[in-house]
Amino acid sequence: MAIDYSESVLAKPVRKKRRNRVRSKRTRSIHRMKLDLDAIARTEVFERDGNKCIHCPNSDRSIQWAHVLSRRHLCLRWEADNAMTLCAGCHLFWHHEPAMAVDWFIKNFGERWERIRRIHLVNPKISVRELWLERCARSSSDL
């Protein structure tokens, strides 16, 4: 049965698009900045969660960076409260059974759910360049 995402704030599974168009240097560099920010956020979330799936912490399956609300919302993409460490199986569960998944998240992380819902409602504009400068400066001073 097809899932209707039109009324939902939940993540719709992302289909990869073909990218044939030529990007400008500026676009390409913002794309790279997003990848840098992704790498930093992913590492921070894995560390916070002890490098284990938070849904089935006793398994030894490989881990993935997963989002509660879709990372296509830039205001939530690098927000630690919106990210979690899941194994591939639990990540699939997250996208295939979104209602059950969110129910589980709210029961276990109610305060985080309230914070990300508030950010989602306000939907603040994000400057990738400014965020990249801020986060990279922070991580290099941490070295």
Q: Please report how close the Cβ of residue 30 comes to Zn ion at its closest, in angstroms.
A: 33
Does residue 30 contact residue 128 with C-beta atoms inside 8 Å?
A: yes
Question: How many other CB atoms sit within 10 Å of the CB of residue 91?
Answer: 20
CA distance 46 to 63: 8
Q: Please report how close the Cβ of residue 58 comes to Zn ion at its closest, in angstroms.
A: 9
- Element containing residue 129 per DSSP (H, E): helix 128-142
Q: Which is nearer to Zn ion, 93 or 115 (CB)?
A: 93
List the interface residues with Zn ion, window 5-64 (CB under 5 A). Answer: 53, 55-56
Candidate segments 12-20, 74-82, 83-91, 108-116, binder of Zn ion by CB under 5 A = 83-91
Q: Please report how close the Cβ of residue 2 comes to Zn ion at its closest, in angstroms.
A: 26
Provide the 8-state DSSP code for 60.
Answer: -
Q: Which is nearer to Zn ion, 61 or 138 (CB)?
A: 61
Under the criterion CB under 5 A, does residue 90 sit at the interface with Zn ion? yes
Under the criterion CB under 5 A, does residue 84 sit at the interface with Zn ion? no
Residue with tokens 């059950």: 100
In angstroms, what is the C-alpha Rg of the chain? 16
Name the site residues for Zn ion (rule: CB under 5 A). Answer: 53, 55-56, 87, 90
